Amino acid sequence: MTLVSERFDRFRKKIRNPAFQENRGLSNEVGFYIFDYDPKDELFVRNEVEDIAHNSTTASIGANVQMFNLFDVVIRLIDEMGYLQEFIQIEEKDGIDMVIRQINNVLKMGKERNLIVQYILDHLEHRDERNIIFLTGVGQVFPLIRAHRVLNTMNQVINQTPVVMFYPGSYNSLSLRAFGKLDDKNYYRAFRVE
C-alpha cells in the first residue's frame, strides 16, 4: 500500500500545479493521464479519489475536480433509453458477448461524440473555471466498455480540460493491461501518472 499511497501524495501536488491544470508543457498533446494501480488496491484508490474530488475547489487546489464513474454513466444511459431490462434478457439468452456488442452500438462507442462523452460534456460543472475530470469505474464497467475506446473518443472532444483515468491494471505509456493480465489495447496518447 505504501507505493500507491506515495503516488497519491505526488499526484495531489501535481494537480495543484497550474501547468497541469492548463495542459501546459505537453508538446501540443492533449492532457490525458492514466493513474494505473494494482487491482488489490481498489478500495484505497476509491477512497483517495473521492477525497480529492470532494475536497477540491478552485480555492483549495486552483481547479474543480469532477468525477465520473463509467459504470454508473453506462447504467444510467441504458436505463434512461429503456434498454436495461432488455440487456439483462439478452445476456441470459445470447451471452455477454452479444450484450457487449449491443451496448457499444447503442452508446455509439465508435463515434467521436458517443453517448458517454456527450454525457460527460453535458454534466461538466463550472465551465468558466479550471476543471479536472476524473474517470473511475473502469474495472466495474469492464468488459462492457473498454478504457481505450473511451479515451480515444474523448480526446477528439475534450482537449482543454485535463482528464485522469484511474485504471485497475497496468499502463506502460504504450498499452493497457486490464487487471494486469488482460490486454485492453494499445493506447499511447495518455501520460502515466508516476
3-state helix/strand/coil string of the chain: CHHHHHHHHHHHHHHHCHHHHCCCCCCCCCCEEEEEECHHHHHHHHHHHHHHHHCCCCCCCCCEEEEEEHHHHHHHHHHHCCCHHHHHHHHHHHCHHHHHHHHHHHCCCCCCCCHHHHHHHHCCCCCCCCEEEEEECHHHHCCCCCHHHHHHHHHHHCCCCCEEEEEEEEECCCEEEECCCEEEEECCCCEECC
Task: State pTM to two decimals.
Answer: 0.89
Q: How far does Cα 111 stand from its chain's mean position?
A: 17
Give Cβ neighbours of residue 7 (< 8 Å, ≥ 6 apart).
Answer: 35, 37, 193, 194
At 170, give phi and psi (nearest 5°).
Answer: -130, 150
Residue where the block lists cell 470532494: 54
Q: Specify whether the CB–CB gap between 16 and 62 falls below 8 A.
A: yes
Question: What would the mean pLDDT of 139-145 be, rounded to a whole number?
Answer: 89
Q: Which residue has the higher pLDDT, 127 or 98?
A: 98
| pLDDT given for residue 172 in this prediction | 84
| pLDDT given for residue 138 in this prediction | 92
Q: Which residue has the higher pLDDT, 21 or 68?
A: 68
